[in-house]
Homo-oligomer: A and B are copies of this chain.
Amino acid sequence: MSRPLPSWNDGPTREAIIDFVSRVTAEGSTDYVPPAERVAVFDNDGTLWAEYPLYVQIYFTLSQVERLAEADPALKAKPAFRALLAHDLKALHGLPKRDVFEPAMAVHAGMTVEEFRATAQAWLAEARHPKYARLFTACIYQPQLELMDHLRRHGFKVFIVTGGGIEFVRTVAERLYGVPPEQVIGSSTRATLELAPATAWVRKLPELGSFDDRAEKPVNIALHIGRRPILAFGNSDGDVAMLRYTLAGEGERLALMLHHDDGEREAAYDRQFLVSPLDEGLDKAAEYGFHMVSMKHDWGRVFA
C-alpha cells in the first residue's frame, strides 16, 4: 500500500484530512455520509494554483488590455484598467479584488463562450509565471492534486468555487485538476443567445452577472450545486463565508484554510495582500473552526 497524500507531511493537518475522509465513508459509522452528499469545494487562486504577486487571470488580462482600450475607451477611466495599461502591478495591488477583476471580466465582452475559451487557451499554452519561471499552468499545487484525487477515490464530487472568471477557470480545470466544466463555479458576465439558421451560440455581454467572492460563494453553491458541501478549502477572507457555510451544516464537516507562509518555495503573505487578504480568516480560525494549513510545514512539495 502506498502512503496516501504523499506530498503532505506527517502532522495534525494530514491526519485530520485522512481521518475525516475515513469517518464519513465508513459504512455503519455515525459520521457516515452517503456518496451523493460528499461534496467538496475548493477555491482556485491561491488554493489550487499560485495567485501571488497577482492572479493568473490578471496576467492574461494584461495581454488583452490594448485591444480592450481600443474597443471601449471608457475603460481607461477605471483605476484597475489604468494600472493594467501602465503595467503598474504595484497600483493593482492596492485595489480590492472586485475592481481588479473588472477588466478581466471585460475581456469576455462580445465574445462567444467558445471564442473566449480559445483565446484563453492560446495564451495559457505559452504564458509563463514571472516569478516561478514556468508555465502558469505548471504553478498548480501537487498536494492539492493528491487531495482532490483522494477525495474522488472516496466517492466525493469535487467542485471549484472561484472568484476568477468561470470561463477562464473552465479552460484549464479539466486538464489540470480533473474537474469538469459543470463542476466549476465562478464569476460570470451576463450572456445572450444568438440564433441564426443552422447555428446558435451564447455570447457574453459587458455586464457582470455574479462576482463569486465572499457571501456570494455560498449563494452560488446553493444555486449551482444545491447541496451544502461537507469539505471546503480556501486561502483568503474571500473564502471565509464558504467555509463557515460548510461547517454550519449538520454532521461531520471539514474546513481548511491554506496559509501562504513559505517565502522560500512559494510566497509568504496574508494580511498585507490587499487584493485578497487573509485577515479575518487568521484571527477567527479557532472561533470558526477552520483548520489552518501551513504551506511551509504541511506540504513536503509545493508545485506539481
Binding site for B on A (CB under 8 A): 36, 39, 113, 157, 159, 166-167, 170, 174, 180-184, 188, 191-193, 195, 198-202, 209, 215-216, 218-219, 221-227, 241, 244-245, 247-248
Contacts and interface: CB of A to CB of B under 8 A. Distances in A.
19 contacts: A36-B174, A157-B182, A170-B226, A180-B227, A181-B226, A181-B227, A182-B227, A191-B219, A191-B222, A192-B219, A193-B219, A193-B245, A195-B241, A200-B241, A200-B244, A200-B245, A202-B218, A202-B219, A202-B221
Given A182-B224, A225-B182, A226-B170, A215 B192 contact: yes
Which 9 A/B pairs are nearest by Cβ-Cβ distance? A181-B226, A200-B248, A193-B215, A202-B222, A200-B245, A182-B225, A199-B248, A193-B218, A170-B226
Given A200-B218, A244-B195, A224 B224 contact: yes
B167 A226 contact: yes
This protein's copies in its complex:
2
Q: Name the residue among A200, A244, A245 with the largest chain B CB count within 10 angstroms.
A: A200
A198 B242 CA distance: 13
Contacts of A166: 223, 226
A195 B243 CA distance: 11
A227 B215 CA distance: 27
Nearest to A157: B182
A247 B188 CA distance: 25
A257 to B, nearest CB: 16
A202 B216 CA distance: 10
A240 to B, nearest CB: 9
Contacts of A157: 182
A192 B218 CA distance: 9
Contacts of A167: 226
Contacts of A201: 245, 248
A48 to B, nearest CB: 17
Given A182-B157, A200-B218, A191 B223 contact: yes
Contacts of A39: 182
Contacts of A182: 39, 157, 159, 182-183, 224-227
Nearest to A227: B181
B113 A36 contact: no
A218 B114 CA distance: 14
